[in-house]
């Protein structure tokens, strides 16, 4: 497996990053099986693992920590904070108060003395980015965190954070974690160019569009399952946006067949073939799913295949707004009011 530079950190990571969201009650509750999946990924050359404190309320981090007990040094280990961890209004967010508590909880669950990449899971409209960066800078200086990153930041938020880091002499975000797939291409317009301009690495999530590009949900499927990880609105097959997605999935499946690869391989290879993408996060629930993802790491899609994808979903287009991680605060009814 070829490795890629993680921004300008000097760290080399695999083009596939093992996402651990499905390990635990949200997906696979068999800890022994999850450990086997993690070890198989490492044996296949994946050296990058991403999880978060919120995944299965910390169980995902515990499983990853157990699996890496004797293999910690092989892995660039990433986790995230920000999402609510209890009903307490202060057990969430990007405040110094919460970050200092959250990192200790993650270190304990991960059974490690340091986190290689500690990421803010979402931007906060009511927390100054300087507050968040200041706390994260202290963690880097204490040796508990090696690098810091953001997730689902807009282009302007990426630039603002870089500016604050420079002006206040704080650690800067060296990575961004945005959603990206053939069906969700909005980041090509602004986010990926901002990442590239600032020399950041990117670990993109949901390369299969939340399962739409797995081949599981096609026109002959009456409905798709929903879960904590798959909100119902994104899988309502009666909406015009999702009907359009079903049409495109059929065309993509035909394109993959003509190229002699699976739809899953086409989808993942599309993501990691973009020059602004460092690594695509793949989140298997089963060993079979992991095995179906691995071949994509070696694929290079020819120009005619990429051109056909662009015809089906133009660059910069996200087909269903419900798949978007951006604008949650900026586009609320209250925020839109004028005068």
Write the CATH number for 329. 3.20.20.100
Exposure on the CB side of residue 145, measured as CA atoms within 13 A: 29
Mean of the per-residue pLDDT values of the chain: 93
The number of distinct structural domains making up the chain is 1
Is residue 315 within 8 A of residue 285, CB to CB? The reply is: no
pLDDT of residue 232: 62
Query: Structure pTM?
Result: 0.93
Sequence-distant (6+) residues with CB within 8 A of 256 are 262, 263, 265, 266
What CA dihedral angle connects 35, 38, 40 and 46, to 10 degrees? -170
State the burial class of residue 151 (Cβ atoms within 10 Å of its Cβ: 0-12, 13-18, 19+). buried
**Residue numbers annotated as active site:** 55
Residues 24-35: pLDDT tens digits?
A: 999 999 999 999
Q: Parallel, antiparallel, or unpaired: how do β-strands 145-151 and 115-120 relate?
A: parallel
Alpha helical stretches, state H, 44-181: 59-67, 96-110, 129-142, 155-168
Which domain covers residue 314, as residue numbers?
4-336
Question: pLDDT at residue 219 above 80?
Answer: no
Residues 104-157: pLDDT tens digits?
A: 999 999 999 999 999 999 999 899 999 999 999 999 999 999 999 999 999 999
pLDDT of residue 234: 74
pLDDT of residue 236: 78
Residue 236: CB atoms within 10 Å: 16
pLDDT of residue 56: 97
| H or E element in which residue 254 lies | helix 240-259
Question: pLDDT at residue 338 above 50?
Answer: yes
| H or E element in which residue 12 lies | strand 12-13
pLDDT of residue 293: 98
């Amino acid at each position: 497996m070829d490795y890629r530079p993680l921004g300008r950190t000097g760290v080399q990571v695999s083009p596939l990053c093992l996402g651990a969201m499905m390990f635990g009650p949200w997906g696979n509750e068999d800890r022994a099986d999850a450990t086997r999946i993690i070890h198989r990924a490492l044996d296949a050359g994946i050296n990058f693992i991403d999880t978060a404190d919120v995944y299965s309320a910390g169980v995902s981090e515990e499983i990853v920590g157990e699996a890496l007990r004797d293999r910690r040094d092989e892995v660039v280990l990433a986790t995230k904070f920000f999402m609510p961890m209890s009903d307490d209004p202060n057990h969430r967010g990007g405040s110094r108060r919460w970050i200092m508590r959250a990192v200790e909880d993650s270190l304990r669950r991960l059974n490690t003395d340091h986190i290689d990449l500690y990421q803010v899971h979402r931007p906060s409209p009511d927390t100054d980015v300087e507050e968040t960066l200041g706390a994260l800078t202290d963690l880097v200086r204490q040796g508990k965190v090696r690098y810091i990153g953001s997730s689902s930041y807009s282009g302007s938020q990426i630039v603002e954070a870089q500016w604050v880091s420079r002006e206040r002499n704080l650690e800067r975000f060296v990575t961004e974690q945005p959603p990206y797939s053939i069906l969700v291409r909005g980041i090509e317009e602004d986010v990926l160019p901002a990442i590239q301009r600032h020399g950041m690495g990117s670990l993109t999530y949901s390369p299969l569009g939340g399962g739409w590009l797995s081949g599981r949900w096609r026109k002959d499927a009456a409905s798709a399952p929903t879960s904590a990880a798959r909100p119902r609105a994104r899988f309502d097959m009666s909406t015009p946006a999702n009907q359009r997605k079903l049409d495109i999935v059929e065309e993509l499946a035909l394109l993959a067949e003509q190229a002699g690869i699976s739809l899953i391989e086409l989808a993942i290879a599309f993501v990691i073939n973009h020059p602004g993408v460092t690594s695509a996060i793949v989140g298997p629930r089963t060993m079979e799913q992991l095995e179906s993802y691995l071949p994509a790491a070696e694929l290079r899609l020819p120009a005619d295949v990429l051109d056909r994808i662009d015809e089906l979903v133009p660059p910069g287009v996200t087909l269903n707004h419900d798949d978007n991680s951006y604008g949650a605060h900026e586009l609320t009814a209250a925020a839109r009011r004028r005068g």
